[in-house]
C-alpha cells in the first residue's frame, strides 16, 4: 500500500500551452503552484497523524510525523507534480507503522481501527490546496482574477 498522495496541475494543459506561446515560464510557475498545494496537503496529514505517547510505551513517539515529507516538484512532459506523505526511502518499520495506522490492523485476535491521516488530511485540505495552487498561478501572472 502506498502511504502518499500526489498533487498536480493536471487538467489545465490547454491553458499552459497558451501561456507558453506568450513566452511565460510555465514549468517554473506550475512547479511553484504544486509545491504550494503540496504544502497544504502535508499540513493536513501532519494535523491528523497519530503521534504516540512515550509514557504509554511507544518507543518512537512522533517518528511517523517526522517522516512525512513533500517531494520537490517533478516535471514529466506537461505533467508537474509533487508527492506528499511517506517517502520511498522511509525506514521499513515506519512505513509498516504508517500503513497500520492509515488502514487499521489486527494483532492477537484484536482489530485496531484505522487512524486515517493521509485520506483525512487530503480530504480536509484539498480545497485549500487547490486555492493555494490557483493563488500561486495568479501571483505568477498565469491566471486572471477576472
Give the largest Cα separation in the chain, rounded: 63
The pLDDT tens digits for 74-124 are: 988 878 999 999 998 999 999 999 999 999 999 889 998 999 999 999 999
The pLDDT tens digits for 15-58 are: 666 666 666 678 888 899 999 999 999 999 999 999 878 888 77
H-only helix segments in 49-139:
63-67, 92-103, 118-139
State how far the Cα of 39 lies from the Cα of 71, in Å rounded to an integer: 10
Residue 8 confidence (pLDDT): 64
Residue 1 confidence (pLDDT): 42
Q: Could you tell me how many helices (H) and strands (E) the chain has, helices first?
A: 5, 6
State how far the Cα of 140 lies from the Cα of 22, in Å rounded to an integer: 13
pTM assigned to the model: 0.80
Amino acid at each position: 500500500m502506498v502511504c502518499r498522495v500526489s498533487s498536480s496541475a493536471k487538467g489545465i494543459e490547454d491553458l499552459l500551452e497558451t501561456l507558453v506561446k506568450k513566452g511565460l515560464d510555465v514549468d517554473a510557475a506550475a512547479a511553484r503552484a504544486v509545491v504550494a498545494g503540496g504544502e497544504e496537503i502535508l499540513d493536513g496529514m501532519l494535523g491528523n497523524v497519530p503521534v504516540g505517547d512515550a509514557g504509554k510505551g511507544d518507543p518512537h513517539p512522533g517518528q511517523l510525523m517526522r517522516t512525512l515529507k513533500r517531494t520537490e516538484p517533478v516535471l514529466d512532459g506537461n505533467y508537474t507534480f509533487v508527492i506528499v506523505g511517506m517517502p520511498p526511502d522511509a525506514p521499513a518499520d515506519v512505513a509498516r507503522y504508517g500503513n497500520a495506522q492509515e488502514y487499521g490492523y489486527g494483532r492477537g485476535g484484536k482489530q485496531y481501527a484505522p487512524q486515517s491521516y493521509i485520506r483525512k488530511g487530503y480530504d480536509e485540505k484539498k480545497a485549500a490546496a487547490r486555492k493555494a495552487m490557483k493563488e500561486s498561478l495568479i501571483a505568477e501572472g498565469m491566471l486572471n482574477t477576472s
